[in-house]
Structure 1
Amino acid sequence: MRGQRAALRPTRAHARGAAIAALVALAPLLPAAAVALGSHEVDAELPYLCTLPSGQQPATVRIKATVPDRVAVGEEVLPTGVGTTVELPAAATADLLALKAATVRAETLLTVAAGQNGQRTDLTWRGTAQPLAVPAEGPLVLTTTGDVPTLTTDSTGELTLTAEGFGVDLALSTADGAPTTPAALSVTCVPGQDTEGGGVLATVPVGAGAPTGGPSSPVPPSATPSSASPSSPLPTSPLPPSTAPRPPSPAESETAGGGDTAQDPAAGGTADSGPKVVAEPTPGTPAGPRPAPPCRNDKPTPTSLTAYITGYANVRKLNGASLVPVSCVLIEQGIPEIDFRPDGSIHLLQKSDAVLSHQGRKQSPPFKATFLTFDFMPATATMVLEQAGPMTVESDILLVFPDNIAQTWIRAPLVLRVLDVRVDGTRLDVGPSCRTEKPLSSPEPDPATYPGDHLVLLGKGQLLNGTDATGYVLTSGGPLTGEVTIPAFKGCGAGGENLDRLLTASISGPGNHLKQIQGQTCAVGVEVPTEGQCTEDRQPYVIPKPER
């Protein structure tokens, strides 16, 4: 399938009949809701102590998830339906009201320790929420949801998930929508002393018969986030909680045409020290290097697509452009609908879900950009784009014989994370947590339906009956453009040095133009993919080239 085509009749009645027939024909291909078998519910209510402007206050954190009853060695452990509810006392509400906050938008970060046979790795379960009105009095209750990393392990024994440190980032706005002063609060929480069961959320037996304990020299678990249910959090290395992961070296961060790195910069550690990130080889990949990272969906449905996307992003303040490397996108097509408008026009509508996927994580590959700061000082930054919430692909095809006009809006909350900075060759230590304080934002044509900060890209195309699509259409790809505001940075610096203002002054601001090129999709979920769309091992065949 080189593009979406629509066969039309000259009359409205015939068009309506053809549209209904098309939907009926598509019905057998629509995915059914998956039902998790052999799983159990996690519902833990844990006490925490949280540091607020008014001082340290008690809080209750409730964590819900579904985990498998048991898994075999090497099988994925993917928590689903993850939700976090934190109840802060009335003092927290008073703190926000004192800042004249009328609405609050929360992002939670829960550290979960995954342990097996004396080895452990720390993961971040991140959740986001829509803006919430600050109550006039009483407790402040915040509920967030999000996807989390997948775990795999190569040894038998019980795999234990334990809740540890917890944090809440609060973005605050006044009644007229303006940011408060300060515009955000970061609340850090530690487990209470009387945490029941030591904060253990779940224990999953691993291996045939799932014996407790393991061999004398176990192979430790690997923290590998799922590509089927990707996430923005990054697993950390097997370091003590007080030790930050080391920054990536240029060799580790550099990618050939957007290819995978030898070691994920967020992983830290080494290949033979404790729990580690595993970049699994891709079975059936043709011999020799491919100028793109692996892009697979190992659990496709009949409506699953994969594609590569790459392009340029301008940084207006630095008068330059950054190449966003070839990145993998996993797409799950929604149910198409025919919309008969009062003006007599007929539209084919489809809303799909998508996700960035790099080594199983919801992010782009690391990429480098070099600019001249202050017009003379060369500065090189290594960065990633992390997906912080659902990505949607909304297509609207106006059926007008013989031309069918397509418009597609892609919306994605993306946080820009800075991994490494070098100024005139000298490393500037930005620490392990340097990122934009909120997602990149674009002008939103429909803010009532799509609130909050997110990137918006628009693709326009045309589908002529009997010919291939031109411009952008979801299945055949094409150019996507948009404007983006880069928010202020937070968490930048190490050793007591705060670099937030420096990066914000150098990079943040509005009016940054984006142009991304998506390649032809691979219909990975069909039994026999069309030639020229997929490689033999069901990866996208077309690797697009960036255009300015």
Structure 2
Amino acid sequence: MAVNVRWTTRQPARVAAGGLLVVAATFIPGADSAADSQRAEISLDYTCEFPDSPHAVTAVVAGRFPEGGSVGRAVEPRDVTVDVDLPKAALDELAGLDATAVSAVVQLKVVHATSNESVTADWSGLAAPAQDIAGQDSLGLEAAGAVPTATFGSPGTATLSASDLTLALSPLKQDGSDAAPKAIDVACRLVDGVDGTLASLAIDGPAAEKPVEPTPGLPDLAGKLPPSQREKLNDARRAARAQGDTDLEPCPFPPLSIPTPAETYVAGFTNVKKLNSAARLGPAHLNVVLMKTYIADPCTDTFTVLSEAEFDYNGRRQLPPTQGTFLTYGFMPTTATMVLSQVGPPALIKSVSHNSDPRIPEDTTVTADFELTISDVRVNGEPLDVGHNCRTVKPIKQTLYAFGTGNPPSGYTVNRGGSMSGETYIPAFTGCGVDEDLSPLMTASISGDGNYIKMTQAPLCVLSNPDSPDCPAKKPIPER
């Protein structure tokens, strides 16, 4: 039976032609949308299963949606927000955990349907910043973020309808530390009989002329690129299609470069194994150059994209200074200011996508070199003068790993962001101390391997697409 509505599904195609289009769709956010748009705002009643008992919760879902579209062309919801109103009973549960504030990440299931077919998409990663709960009779958490596009396979009337949602609550204590438990997942079911229709779209028949066939379910975003980059991409498409008509395919195709500037923020935590504690990192601003190099390989059905990134804090290649508090040797309270400065070449972002897999999986590694400096050390409240040049004797070589899929959207992708993780080896210290050499003390206290790090990246703001809902760049909520 023919499928009349598709959610980033794939059809058999030669990777030579399809892979080049996937690159553009993966690394340049946004999609073509109708010139006219409709704003929707609906109030929905849910029953949410909190740890102690179920509570009635109201959520207001709002956004802008194209009034229509065409078969095979992605339509993009914009300016999406989900405003969740937590009742006092739910706030009392959180207060019982010694929480004085709460943040949230919202996942909303949205049904894309035509007259005889439907699929369910996950609008995940909608983040709501922390709000105080003390003394509140109810609390509104407004979550926002980019959501996936949808592609319909037959003409007619299509609808997008909100369904069940999940709240990932993060309760916080007065001092900003995590309450226990630090994460609460709350499943919410739409009350029976509630109409969750967000938008109705008139989908026209297929265009009469298709000079370049887009990869099914993914937006053709060449029009978002500056003219010089757009022409490079079109040239590459034509070359790929021509190669795809031959019996022998080169493996891989010659590298192509379409440098595209973007920016984002990252934030996270790093554990210091010897101190049995963690320090918060960021949020840190990151300048990114996408698609410095990409290589399509039809023999392995993959394409590899190399991008570069550099941190920017007040014009310096570093993360913002962070202050950590630890128990040195398990009993001595110690505070210190730490700075991670990027050294050497820009960070390398390497993403490998598997074009033949219908999930559209993407493996990503990020590698960079950092110098760690320590200052403003206090032990049991007393200053310990380590001077202004207390640093690791050699750069920290950091590699973070991440994995995600495009169908359905999950995990980490360079475009959509998400969490990356890895382990860090902290080298020995040098230059510590003024009147005496404290470098051995710092090395014994901090240096070593097995230091876990987890960073969360916000969606990319691509500078050539300033109207994207991801622009200006947002600051993510770090995950532990």
User: Given the two structures, how large is their TM-score scaled by the length of structure 2?
Assistant: 0.48
Higher relative contact order (CA 8 A, sep 6+): 2
Q: Which protein has the bigger strand share?
A: 2
User: Given the two structures, how large is their TM-score scaled by the length of structure 1?
Assistant: 0.42
